[in-house]
Copies of this chain bind each other. A is one copy, B any other.
Amino acid sequence: MKYVPFSAVKIQGFWKHRSEINTSSTIPTIYKRFSETGRFEAMKCVYTEGMEKPHIFWDSDVAKWIEACAYSLEQTPDGQLEKQVDEIIGYMESGQLDDGYFNSYYIACEPENRFTVRNNHELYCAGHLTEAAVAYYRATGKDKLLDLVKRYLDLIEKAFAEDDSAAFSTPGHEEIELALIKMYELTGEEKYTNLCAHFINTRGTSQKDLDNFVYSGDHSYDQTHLPVRQQKTAEGHSVRALYLYSGMADLARLTGDKELTDACKSLFDNICSKRMYVTGGVGSSSHGETFTQDYDLPNDMAYSETCASIALVLFCRRMLMLETDSKYADAAERAMYNCVLGGVSLDGRSFFYVNPLEINLSRHEKNEKWHDIKENLLTQRAEVFSCSCCPPNLARVIPSFAGDAYSYDDKTIYVHHFISGEAEWEGIKIKQDTRYPNFGDVRITVSGAAGRKIAVRIPGWCTFATLNGGRLPHEPVRGYIYLDITQNEQVFDFYFEMKPRFVAANPLVDGDNGKVCVARGPLVYCAESVLNAGVSLNTLSVDTGAVFGSEPDEESGAMRLSVKVYEDKSRTELYYDYDPDGRTERELTMLPYFAYANHGESDMIVWLRTAAK
């Protein structure tokens, strides 16, 4: 099974709108910011006094931005943008050392120390450069960056596999593993797969690694606590973990390694059934940006980094290649439409690094002063943050998500995600007419595929679906409906009933006990005080028997909802005999989680108390 490549997919509707904002606002915003901070100049690998000192992860920032440009250029050719990218690639070429080494920080600042400090993001940067090179080559046919990366990867192979001369064995921050598979898939050269396998198989077995770096006494931080095939629960830094798991899933697919496949399945199940926010956020703790324990999902102190949800989407994409089960696409959808989309403002210009599920401005202040809680949370998106991993990561994932929509093999065409538009490859054409994620009607028209089957995912959130106005022909098989394509052009009219619903969390999630959140289709909703006359959100409880109101929201391109809630009666007493009648009704306006924090400073809440008897 293969994905229909992103370049073969033309999108419309919701995702086209988001991609256009990405192209017109996000990519230029990041360009401006990176120019101002010297990130592009730094690619020349020359540092002189007075310049801002390059940072160990700047190469990855620039590489992700180039990758984003590549996806944008595939959809929307732009000579000016391509010139900008080429110029930066020129800087890189001028900076690369003769032996192939390329890292702007080490060359400029500590040339003698390359490959000595495991936690310094060197191989992580190399991985992102590799992804950028592959994407830019696919988009433009230009191979300057690709050649640079090939030379560098050969050097890395020598230092880490052939000679074992590096001071550590595996990346402190994973990423290169999945990038090497992309190189293999572009070039067909097995040395890349072999190097990927070397990194993955060596992880958790190298004393050099353990000696070189440990975070807070805990080797699970960088997933070196066990050989990877023995890792069954998601541990440590969540972005590192999910990039590793993505590489593992890639390798398992290519090698058919059952043990590795099983480890990936266990890791996925652990995350998605015990360690994931309802928004698809993962990595609940700011301490090391880590996964913590099963069911430990605090709302106001959620870390839930944007990059971690993006990494979850990447992992899901790969798991779906290992096993056709809709749970993978469900999780990717949950993350994309909620946490990931929420990482960027509606105008595309500002970003969240951390994505809480509750903001209480007054508690915010006192948490810092009186409750020993380190404050990582922004209450509004920022145009800038010094650790800039999330903005260019968003810029590459939003336009490329359409590449996850379809896959195929000789017998079957799979529809994983519902994205208006069409795809054309190998004489096959598939078209979706849908207002998803806002309405559940999806018309799929397939041409040139008679004799195959089409497999359509029934979204996990959907409890009532029809095909061509009637019952589905069979119960979903691992979440997919399989239908014969009998005509040269055939239409399948799916309808996924999409009404607002109350969602509960497992009772073991303390912070969500006695609460529900509101969802509609794939979108999770939230309430902001600023859109509700400043009401104190904690004093509300929701009538779960109530009917929702809804109306289109032009700003977000989705629907706003309203629901009946009870507001606790304002009191002067601190304690009083319980009186359930002391509450008033009001309507609560809710908006998609991804659209919050676009209306000024505000309290925000996802999980609402259910009203008492």
Contacts from A to B (Cβ < 8 Å): 272-274, 276, 278, 284-288, 290, 292-293, 296, 298, 301, 360, 362-363, 366, 369-374, 463, 501-510, 513-514, 516, 536, 538-539, 541, 543-545, 568-580, 609-613
The residues of B that contact A538 with a CB separation of less than 8 Å are: 507, 510, 513
User: Given A502-B577, A514-B514, A539-B513, A373–B370 Cβ distance below 8 Å?
Assistant: no
Expressed in whole angstroms, the Cα–Cα distance for A290 and B374 within the complex equals 18
User: Is B574 touching A371 in the complex (CB atoms < 8 A)?
Assistant: no
Smallest CB gap from A571: residue in B: B506
Q: CB distance B573 to A609 under 8 Å? A: no
What 4 pairs across the A-B complex have the smallest Cβ distances? A507-B568, A610-B612, A502-B578, A285-B370
Known A373-B373, A504-B576, A544-B578; contact A609-B513, beta-carbon cutoff 8 A = yes
Given contacts A505-B575, A610-B613, 4 further A-B contacts (CB under 8 A): A506-B576, A513-B539, A543-B613, A611-B612
Distance A288 CA – B370 CA, assembled complex (angstroms)? 8
Flag if A504 contacts B544 (CB, 8 Å): no
Q: Is the CB of A296 within 8 A of B514?
A: no
The residue in chain B whose Cβ has the minimal distance to the Cβ of A290 is B370
Determine the chain B residues whose CB is within 8 A of the CB of A501 once the complex forms. 577-578
A576: chain B residues within 8 A (beta carbon): 503-504, 506
Q: List 29 A-B contacts (CB under 8 A).
A: A272-B574, A273-B574, A274-B574, A278-B575, A286-B371, A287-B370, A292-B366, A293-B362, A293-B370, A296-B370, A298-B371, A301-B371, A371-B373, A372-B372, A503-B576, A503-B578, A504-B576, A505-B574, A506-B574, A506-B575, A507-B536, A507-B569, A513-B539, A514-B541, A514-B612, A516-B578, A544-B613, A545-B613, A611-B612
Which of B284, B285, B568 makes the CB contact (< 8 A) with A513? B568
Q: How far is the CA of A406 from the CA of B298 in the complex (A)?
A: 49
Contact yes or no, A296 B611, CB < 8 A: no
**CB <8 Å contact, A371 and B287:** yes
- How far is B263's CA from A96's CA once the two chains are assembled, in angstroms? 72
| Contact between chains at A372 and B369 (CB < 8 Å) | no
Question: What CA separation (Å) do A533 and B211 show in the bound complex?
Answer: 46
Copies of this chain in its oligomeric complex: 2
- What CA separation (Å) do A582 and B550 show in the bound complex? 28
The answer to whether A370 touches B292, judged by C-beta atoms less than 8 angstroms apart, is yes
Q: Is the CB of A572 within 8 A of B273?
A: yes
- A553 CA / B481 CA spacing, docked (Å): 62
Nearest chain B residue, comparing its CB with the CB of A298: B371
Query: A504, B575: Cβ atoms under 8 Å?
Result: yes
Given A287-B372, A301-B371, A610-B613, CB of A276 within 8 Å of CB of B514: no
The smallest C-beta distance from A433 to any residue of chain B, in angstroms, reads: 28
Please give the distance in Å from A178's CB to the nearest CB on chain B.
26
Contacts of A301 in B (CB 8 A): 371
By the criterion CB–CB under 8 Å, are B507 and A579 in contact? Answer: no
List chain B residues, Cβ under 8 A from A290: 370
Point out the residues of chain B lying under 8 angstroms from A573, CB to CB: 273, 506
Q: Which residue of B lies closest to A611 (CB)?
A: B613
Q: In the complex, A566→B131 CA distance in Å? A: 53
Which residues of B lie under 8 Å from residue A612 when comparing CB positions?
514, 544, 610-613
A573–B272 Cα distance when bound, in Å, is 9
CA distance A611 to B611 in the complex (A): 8
A279 to chain B, nearest CB (A): 10
Given the interface pairs A510-B363, A612-B611, the reply to whether A463 lies near B577 with Cβ below 8 Å is yes
Chain B residue contacts of A569, Cβ below 8 A = 507
Max count, chain B CB within 10 A of own CB: residue among A371, A501, A516, A610 = A371
Complex CA distance for A510 and B364, rounded to whole angstroms:
13
**Do A507 and B287 touch (CB < 8 A)?**
no
Contact call A504/B577, Cβ cutoff below 8 A: yes
Chain B residue with the shortest CB-CB distance to A567 = B507
Residue of B nearest to A608 (CB): B514
Residue of B293, B360, B516, B575 near A366 (CB, 8 A) is B293
Residue ID in chain B nearest A300 by CB atoms: B510
A66 CB, nearest partner CB in chain B, Å:
35
Q: Which of A362, A370, A570 has the most CB of B within 10 A?
A: A370
With CB as the reference atom, state the residue of chain B lying closest to A297: B574
* Chain B nearest Cβ from A353, distance in angstroms: 17
Q: How far is the CB of A215 from chain B (nearest CB, A)?
A: 12
Min distance, Cβ A249 to any Cβ of chain B, angstroms? 21
A591 to chain B, nearest CB (A): 20
Q: Which B residues are in CB contact (< 8 Å) with A372? A: 286-287, 372-374
Give bound CA distance, A545 to B504, whole Å. 24
Least CB distance from A462 to B in Å reads 11
Please measure, in the bound complex, the distance between the C-alpha atom of A276 and the C-alpha atom of B575, giving whole angstroms: 10
User: Bound complex: CA of A495 vs CA of B569, how far in Å?
Assistant: 32
Q: Known contacts being A292-B370, A613-B545, is A575 close to B510, with CB within 8 Å?
A: no
In the complex, what's the smallest C-beta–C-beta distance from A539 to chain B, in angstroms? 4
- A498–chain B nearest beta-carbon distance, Å: 13
- Once the chains are docked, how many angstroms separate the CA of A504 from the CA of B580? 10
Chain B residues near A571 (CB-CB < 8 A): 506-507
Partner of A508 from the list B370, B505, B536 (CB cut-off 8 Å) is B536
Contact B609 A514 (CB under 8 A): yes
- Selected from B374, B463, B503, the residue in CB contact (under 8 A) with A575 is B503
Q: Which residues of B contact A539 (CB under 8 A)?
A: 507-508, 513
Which residue of the partner chain B has the closest CB to A517?
B575
